[in-house]
Amino acid sequence: MPPLTDPLTLGQKLVAVLESGRRTATYKLAVLMALLDLAVESVPDDANDVVDINLDDLTTRVIELYWRQMRPLDGHRLRQSSDGRGVIFDAVAHLRSSVTGAHRTPSVDLVVAQGSPECIAAHATVKQALVRYPLKLLQNLTTGADNERFLYDDSWMGTGSKRVIAEHGNALTLFPGVCVTLARLAPLLKPAFQLAWVDDVRRMNRSVLDDGPDLAHHLFGADRISLQRAGDALTQEFGASCFYCDASVRAARHVDHLLPWSRVGIDGLTNLVLACAGCNSSKSDLLPAPEHVGRALARGRTVLDQLAVEINWPSQYDRVVSAGRGLYTTQPMSTPVWQGRNQIQMLTRVDFVWPG
Ligand SMILES: [Zn+2]
């Protein structure tokens, strides 16, 4: 089967997934969003290589997407399917309630890393359900037709058998060129998938939602308040100054996602810096100039990992390295990047030299 690597064709097919009928659950959207993020973090040196996406990683990302969405909104846990039920988010909701303490719910990355029996069970349940349904059905754009596969071979899927999953390397294999194409399309497609997801959740929860709450923020926005604990740790370790311009942040301290939350959604300490109000609002959702990422990584893996352990927070050093590499190498030349307040530069080939 000839793989489709033309970005426009692939993009059209992914948009068709969005439009193929009224969804009764949000699983396909979750899988697509997780795949886009993992593609950005898995960009191969040779764009035409096939790329394996580990199914445990994919499962963790899907759990992560639902994790924050399980927070009650105005006292309600929002439905993610028409009837409010489903194997995947029941498993996530159960796991979440089992680890939620009196004051807060831990980050899902830590929960997965700690590997409690409840977590291992929930993870296995979600993985099997993903292989059985959404991963098998994702590329069916029209029912009954002979749908050409455009992302990965799903002929062996449709089963929850652990043996079959293991026989296929516990991975889905993206066709040649697909990983890089997905990474390039991610900035265009992620907002579209998020909008579709917000629409679905609004429709599935009509009885409890009026137009009031900011549903998009609830489902996908960065949770500023919960970042303050990380901000305290960063202040103690690196001082109360703006990472970008060195101004004091004692009056107004912002915790900034270095690689923008809207692009990669990494909450790990490695992706967090202190920023003054001016830099924070000027940078907004722009990609930072690569040297900022270099400086953030130069704070040191050991220091960041240690600091993360002390406050029971994920560090995600490797994830920042691979996401940064994927983001910058797949941007077109001359993409604007944020250098400093009122300083926008164009990305150049030189910037592509990437540490680690
Ligand atoms: Zn600043």
**Ligand 1 centroid – CA 324 distance (Å):** 21
Q: How far is the CA of 139 from the centre of ligand 1 (A)?
A: 45
End-to-end distance of the chain based on CA atoms, in angstroms? 35
Q: How far is the CA of 254 from the centre of ligand 1 (A)?
A: 10
Q: Which pLDDT tens digit goes with each residue over 142-179?
A: 766 667 899 999 999 999 999 999 999 999 999 999 99
Q: Given a cut of 70, is residue 71 above it in pLDDT?
A: yes
The mean pLDDT value for 306-330 works out to: 93
| 204-261 pLDDT tens trace | 998 777 766 688 888 888 766 678 899 999 999 999 999 999 999 998 999 999 999 9
**274-287: b or e for each residue (b if 16 or more CB lie within 10 Å)?**
bbbebbbebbeeeb
CA distances from 153 to 20, 50, 131, 176 (A): 20, 11, 12, 12
Residue 136, pLDDT above cutoff 90: yes
In the reported structure, the alpha carbon of residue 184 is separated from the centroid of ligand 1 by a whole-number distance in angstroms of 30
The whole-angstrom separation of Cα 191 and Cα 143 is 26
Whether the Cβ atoms of residue 43 and residue 53 lie closer than 8 Å to each other = no
Say if residues 219 and 198 touch (Cβ distance below 8 Å). yes
Structure-model confidence comparison of residues 247 and 141, the more confident one: 247
Residues for the chain: how many in total? 356
From ligand 1's centre to the CA of 309, what distance in Å? 27
Å from CA of 188 to ligand 1 middle: 29
Structure tokens at 343: 């300083």
Calculate mean pLDDT across residues 313-321.
94
